[in-house]
A and B are shown apart, each in its own frame.
Chain A
Amino acid sequence: MNIVAREMRANLKSLTIWCGAMILLIGMGMVQYPAVAGAGQGVAELIGQLPEGMQGILELNRMDVTTIAGYYGAFAPYFLLLGGIYASMLGAAIIAKEQLDKTADFLFVKPVDRSRVITAKLAAVLVNLVVFNLTTLLTSLFFVARYNFGPSISQQIGYLMMALFLLQVMFAAIGVGTSGMIKNPHKAGPVAATLFLAMFLLSAAIELYPKIDFLQYLTPFRYFPIAPVMQGTFEPRFVVLAIVVSVVFAALAYGAFQKRDLLA
């Protein structure tokens, strides 16, 4: 318990900055909504004027940014992006930093065995992510409510936050897992960052060229497509995959740190 509290305090500053960034992003985005909503006809109407064959293609994966749900949904990829960076960096550093700061011998000579230390640190990561998500959720609800004069979209926002949380847990687990597998603590962050960037670029490539979508299992950014998720449709295989990956990588971290030779 002490370790969790201590980790919370140590990570409070970065958590505050990240939450602040999310509030700023959501606020900045939503403030612009009235201008977009007021601009001309609704997209649905414009699409309605097109030949039928085309309507289908366009409506499938595009969102109408003149409605509040579509507008909010257009930001969602950036929440996922920023949330993902935060989670993977947090995960990569949480255990490796003891070695970096040369405090590993201090911590691990305490009468607490290693697996409990790791459990406490993972718990701290989870609490941080929950706070991050709650902040994003509440800020979203607040700003959306301010500019929404139509039906409430709180439920859609809720579904999106579930996707965000799953994704963050997964990225954090990948971060912790890689920091366990990489012996050199200086390399833990860079490797996690490389993985993150590679996944991000891969998801961009799949978007550009859908024929390679068999690779989508490799990039968490493709697990929860925004439009269906906001309607509450999660693909079971991706939810399962996200949970399995999280558990496997967390287990890897336990295994690796249990045996690691911590040089004093």
Chain B
Amino acid sequence: MNICRREIQMNLPAMLYWTVGMVLGLLFFMLMFPATSQNAAVLNQITGQFSPELIRALGLQALDLSTVLGYYSYVFIYILLVGAIYALKSSLSSLSEEIRARTADFLLSKPVGRPVIAAAKAASVSTLILLQNIIYIPLAFIITRLTSGQDFNIQVFLLINLTMLLVQLFFLALGLLLAVIIKRIRNVLPIALGTVFAFWVVQMLNQTLADSALAYLTPFAWFDLAGIIASGGYQAKYLFTNMILVIAVATLAGFIYQRRDMPAV
């Protein structure tokens, strides 16, 4: 419990800093909504006559940018990217911090088993991510409501936003695993940025190619926002993929952490 509380205390400012960045980014994007939605409406009239193949070949959006939720989803993908980087960075940093700061022997010699330590750290990052979403979603709602001046389906809005939490959980688990399998982590950010952007690029490939096998490979493909707007729900197969992977990856990380050699000073 102490470990968890201490971790949260230490990492709270960074979480707030990232969340402020996400909210400001969203505000910047949403301020452009009124102008963009008009352009999009004109473009829609043109592209409405196109065949699906042509739309895909031209790289046009499946999302309707003239509606609030369509535009929000388009923008949200970038916010999601930032959120994912935060999640991976936090869990990677949390579990590898002791070795980098050379405090591993200090912490591990305390009368607390390694599973408890690993669990406390995972819990602290989860709490921070949950807090981040609790701060972000209401602010996002207010920003979207004010900049658009329109009503929209709140339930769908929530579903869109909750995908961030789900994707973040995956990256949290992946961060734990990377923290225990990489021998010496000097710098957290290059790994975090590289990994998340690699998944992001796979998603961009997946969008261009519309390959359903590729979609399992990247969490960014699991929650198709255009589909959520249309159907008002998630796709069960990807939701299960997400949950199973989160649990499996985190458990694996726990096992490896248990047997890992900790370098002393």
Query: Could you say which of B126-134, B154-162, B188-196, B244-252 contacts chain A?
Result: B188-196
- Contacting residues of chain B (143-157) with chain A, CB-CB under 8 angstroms: none
Q: Mark A17-43, 1 if CB is under 8 A from B, else 0.
A: 110010001001100100110011001
Residues of A within 8 A of B35 (CB): 209, 211
Q: Is residue A190 contacting chain B, with contact meaning CB distance below 8 A? A: yes
Contact B32–A28 (Cβ < 8 Å): no
Q: Give B239 Cβ to nearest chain A Cβ, in Å.
A: 25
Contact B58–A43 (Cβ < 8 Å): yes
Q: Give B209 Cβ to nearest chain A Cβ, in Å.
A: 5
Q: Give A136 Cβ to nearest chain B Cβ, in Å.
A: 13
Q: Mark B11-30, 1 if CB is under 8 A from A, else 0.
A: 00000000001000100110
Inter-chain CA distance A160–B201, complex, in Å, is 18
Classify the interface of chain B: helix, strand, loop or mixed.
helix
Q: Is residue A183 contacting chain B, with contact meaning CB distance below 8 A? A: no
Residues of A within 8 A of B209 (CB): 32, 35-36
Contact B54–A89 (Cβ < 8 Å): no
Inter-chain CA distance A218–B261, complex, in Å, is 46
Total B residues in contact with A, Cβ cutoff 8 Å: 36
Contact A85–B197 (Cβ < 8 Å): yes
Inter-chain CA distance A178–B75, complex, in Å, is 28
Contact A74–B59 (Cβ < 8 Å): yes
Q: Is residue A109 contacting chain B, with contact meaning CB distance below 8 A? A: no
Inter-chain CA distance A190–B36, complex, in Å, is 32
Q: Give A132 Cβ to nearest chain B Cβ, in Å.
A: 13
Residues of A within 8 A of B74 (CB): 208
Residues of A within 8 A of B25 (CB): 201
Q: List chain B positions with a Cβ less than 8 A from chain A.
A: 21, 25, 28-29, 32, 35-36, 46, 51, 53-54, 57-59, 65, 74-75, 78, 82, 85, 186-190, 193-194, 197-198, 201-202, 204-205, 208-209, 211
Q: List chain A positions with a Cβ less than 8 A from chain B.
A: 14, 17-18, 21, 25, 28-29, 32, 35-36, 39-40, 43, 46-47, 54, 57-58, 62-66, 74-75, 77-78, 81-82, 85-86, 89-90, 93, 97, 100-101, 189-190, 193-194, 196-197, 201, 204-205, 208-209, 211-212
Given contacts A86-B190, A197-B82, 18 further A-B pairs with CB under 8 A are: A40-B53, A43-B54, A43-B57, A46-B51, A46-B57, A63-B59, A78-B201, A85-B190, A85-B194, A86-B194, A89-B190, A93-B190, A189-B188, A189-B190, A193-B193, A194-B21, A204-B78, A209-B35
